[in-house]
């Protein structure tokens, strides 16, 4: 299987400063400095669109929050980090359960209109920034096709947003997450000339053990090899088969990046390191870069709260040096 070459093999992290409806957007310059010093070159910013609304009207903009996004982009440029803006909550869709959306992005014209409006706003605001420095990741982890969203409806929305962006900035790099929460590629988007983003969370019995937001009470204790996924035991061979379908997009001239990766802090550290090494070896072999979820926090290299890690003190933070060293190998 040929490696993808249409995107750089970016390596980095998600920063969660704009992630939820309660986020402040106050990014820390040290985060960018440390990532760059450690050899990384990519920052994904999951964004909640309500943060830059003035009230509940989706067309009234609260400019001070946009200024904070401006600052994050400038910090990325200062430290040589490609910044990827992602609508983690978009008008009419989110994987987070913290707020009900009044419309369905995939079926309601009003949600699609607002979605395109906000991306067009960003396209105008950041026109002129080199696509090597900034990309737009349209919407985080569309669900599996169902009665609430078909592949055709998803394709329609992604096409509409892409056209809205390109009407303002024809050069902007655009990335679409795969379906089934980033696990299934979308070959039907190949002619749209957008890149696609996968996930490195499978098997869920390794990555999300005891994670309350995914009904993990059914998951057995983690193992690797032998990780649990829907009653099936996964091995490295299963991982290779999973990512091969993403590498196959390269044959359709589609760039691929892994926008989120990692395991929750209840998974034993030694299992995390064994599983993640296999993931990173496979992704690297296919020319696919990655962004860990997250930098700080229960999936991260800083302040993860794991009970089985001998942390290193790092400027007032608790650093998982073993996990950092593994990432630096790839």
DSSP E strands in the chain: the ranges are 11-14, 42-48, 82-90, 93-94, 134-137, 173-177, 195-200, 227-229, 232-234, 256-261, 289-292, 312-314, 317-319
**19-66 per-position pLDDT tens digit:** 999 999 999 999 999 999 999 999 999 999 999 999 999 999 999 999
Closest CA to 221 of 200, 201, 205: 205
Q: What's the chain's Rg over C-alpha atoms? A: 19
Confidence of residue 151 (pLDDT cuts 50, 70, 90): very high
Confidence (pLDDT) at 251: 83
> What does the block give as tokens for 268?
């034993």
Domain boundaries, the chain: 11-328
| Residue 155 burial (CB count, 10 A) | 15
Per-residue exposure over 63-94, b if at least 16 CB sit within 10 Å of its own CB, e if not: eebbebbeebbebbbebebbbbbbbbbbbbbb
Confidence of residue 3 (pLDDT cuts 50, 70, 90): confident
- Look up the pTM and report it: 0.97
* Burial label, 212 (beta-carbon count in 10 A; 0-12, 13-18, 19+): exposed
* Burial label, 315 (beta-carbon count in 10 A; 0-12, 13-18, 19+): exposed
Residues whose CB falls within 8 Å of the CB of residue 150, separated by 6 or more in sequence, listed in order? 106
For 67-88, what is the mean pLDDT?
A: 98
Q: Does the structure show a pLDDT above 90 at 115?
A: yes
Residues whose CB falls within 8 Å of the CB of residue 224, separated by 6 or more in sequence, listed in order? 206, 271, 274, 275, 278
Confidence (pLDDT) at 28: 98
Confidence (pLDDT) at 57: 96
For 144-150, what is the mean pLDDT?
A: 94
Confidence of residue 250 (pLDDT cuts 50, 70, 90): confident
Determine the topology of domain 11-328 in CATH. TIM Barrel (3.20.20)
**82-99 per-position pLDDT tens digit:** 999 999 999 999 999 898
Contact 184, 147 (CB under 8 A): no
**188-246 per-position pLDDT tens digit:** 999 999 999 999 999 999 999 999 999 899 899 999 999 999 999 999 999 999 999 99
- Work out the percent of the chain whose per-residue pLDDT is above 90: 95
* Phi (first) and psi of residue 321, to 5 degrees: -65, -35
Residues whose CB falls within 8 Å of the CB of residue 130, separated by 6 or more in sequence, listed in order? none
Confidence (pLDDT) at 1: 73
Three-state DSSP class for residue 257 = strand
């Amino acid at each position: 299987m040929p490696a993808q070459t249409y995107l750089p093999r970016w390596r980095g992290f998600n920063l969660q400063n704009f992630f939820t409806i309660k986020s402040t957007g106050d990014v820390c310059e040290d985060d960018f400095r440390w990532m760059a010093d450690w050899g990384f070159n990519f920052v994904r910013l999951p964004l909640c669109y309500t943060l830059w609304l003035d009230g509940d009207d989706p067309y009234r903009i609260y400019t001070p929050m946009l200024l904070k996004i401006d600052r994050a982009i400038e910090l990325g440029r200062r430290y040589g980090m490609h910044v990827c803006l992602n609508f983690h909550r978009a008008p009419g869709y989110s994987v987070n359960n913290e707020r009900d959306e009044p419309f369905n992005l995939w079926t309601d014209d009003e949600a699609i209109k607002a979605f395109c409006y906000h991306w067009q706003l960003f396209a105008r605001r950041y026109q002129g920034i080199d696509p090597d420095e900034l990309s737009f990741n349209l919407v985080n982890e569309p669900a599996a096709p169902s009665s609430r969203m078909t592949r055709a409806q998803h394709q329609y929305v992604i096409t509409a947003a892409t056209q809205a962006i390109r009407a303002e900035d024809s050069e902007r790099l655009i990335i679409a997450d795969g379906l089934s929460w980033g696990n299934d590629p979308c070959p039907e988007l190949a002619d749209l000339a957008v890149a696609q983003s996968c996930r490195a969370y499978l098997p869920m019995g390794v990555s999300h053990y005891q994670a309350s937001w995914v009904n993990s009470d059914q998951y057995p204790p983690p193992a690797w090899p032998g990780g649990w996924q829907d009653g099936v035991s996964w091995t490295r061979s299963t991982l290779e088969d999973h990512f091969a379908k993403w590498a196959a997009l390269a044959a359709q001239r589609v760039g691929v990046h892994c926008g989120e990766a990692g395991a929750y802090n209840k998974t034993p550290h030694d299992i995390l390191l064994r599983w993640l090494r296999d993931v990173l070896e496979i992704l690297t072999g296919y020319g696919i870069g990655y962004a860990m979820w997250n930098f700080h926090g229960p999936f991260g290299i800083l302040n993860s709260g794991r009970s089985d890690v001998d942390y290193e003190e790092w400027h007032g933070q608790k650093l998982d040096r073993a996990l950092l060293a593994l990432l630096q190998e790839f």
